[in-house]
Chains A and B, each alone.
Chain A
Amino acid sequence: MLSVTDLQKTYPSGDEALKGVSLDVTGSETVAMIGPSGAGKSTFIRCVNRLTEPTGGSVELDGLEITGLSGKELRNARRDMGMIFQEYNLIERLTVMENVLSGRLGYVSTWDAFRRKFAGDDIERAYEVLDRVGLGGHENNRADELSGGQRQRVGIARAILQRPKILLVDEPTSSLDPESSRAVMDLLTEIAAEDDIPVLINIHEVDLAEEYAGRIVGLRDGQKVFEGGPDDLDETARGQIYRGEEIPEGAGPTGKVAEAGTPGESSQEEGQIRRG
Chain B
Amino acid sequence: MATEQPEQRTWRRPTAFYNHYVKWAVYVVITVFLLWSAWNMRISPARIMDGWNAAVGLVEGMVPPEYTTQFKNELLIEGLVESLAMSVIATIVGVIISIPVAFMAAENIAPKPVYWTGRGIITVSRSFHELIIAIIAVKAVGIGALAGVIALSYKTVGFFAKLLAEEIEDIDSGQMEATEATGANRVQTMLFGVIPQVMPRIIGLTIYRWDINIRHSTIVGIVGAGGIGATLLNSFDQYDYDFFLTIIIAIIAIVMVGELISTYIRGRIQ
Contacts and interface: CB of A to CB of B under 8 A. Distances in A.
Direct contact, A vs B (beta carbon within 8 Å): yes
Interface of A: 95, 97-98, 101, 116, 119-121, 123-124, 126-127, 139-140
A152 B3 CA distance: 33
B12 to A, nearest CB: 8
A139 B11 CA distance: 9
B14 A120 contact: no
B1 interface: yes
A123 B13 contact: no
Q: State which size class the interface on B falls in.
A: 10 to 19
B141 to A, nearest CB: 53
B14 A127 contact: no
B5 A95 contact: no
B13 A116 contact: yes
Most buried by A among B8, B9, B10, B11: B11
Interface string B238-269: 00000000000000000000000000000000
Contacts of A119: 1-2
B5 A120 contact: yes
B10 A95 contact: no
B13 A120 contact: no
A207 B187 CA distance: 63
Contacts of A98: 13
Nearest to A98: B13
A178 to B, nearest CB: 34
SS class, residues of chain A in contact with chain B: helix
B13 to A, nearest CB: 5
Contacts of A126: 11
Contacts of B14: 95, 140
A59 to B, nearest CB: 35
Contacts of A116: 13
Interface in B1-30: 1-3, 5, 8-11, 13-14
Given A120-B10, A123-B8, 5 more contacts: A120-B3, A121-B1, A123-B11, A124-B5, A124-B8
Interface of B: 1-3, 5, 8-11, 13-14
Which 5 A-B residue pairs are closest in the complex by CB-CB distance?
A120-B2, A120-B1, A124-B8, A140-B14, A123-B11
Nearest to B3: A120
A119 B2 CA distance: 7
Contacts of B5: 120, 124
B19 to A, nearest CB: 13
Contacts of A101: 11
Nearest to A117: B1
B6 to A, nearest CB: 11
Nearest to A97: B11
A5 B222 CA distance: 74
Nearest to B14: A140
A78 to B, nearest CB: 24
A6 B1 CA distance: 45
A116 B5 CA distance: 21
Contacts of A123: 2, 8-11
B13 A127 contact: no
A195 B156 CA distance: 67
Nearest to A94: B13
Among A101, A116, A120, A139, find the residue whose CB has the most chain B CB atoms closer than 10 A.
A120
Nearest to A100: B11
Contacts of B11: 97, 101, 123, 126-127, 139
20 contacts: A95-B13, A97-B11, A97-B13, A116-B13, A119-B2, A120-B1, A120-B2, A120-B5, A120-B8, A121-B1, A123-B2, A123-B8, A123-B9, A123-B10, A124-B8, A124-B9, A127-B9, A127-B11, A139-B11, A140-B14
Nearest to A120: B2
Contacts of A127: 9, 11
Contacts of A140: 14
A81 to B, nearest CB: 25
A121 B3 CA distance: 11
Nearest to B4: A120
Contacts of B8: 120-121, 123-124
Nearest to B2: A120
B75 to A, nearest CB: 55
A116 B13 CA distance: 8
B18 to A, nearest CB: 15
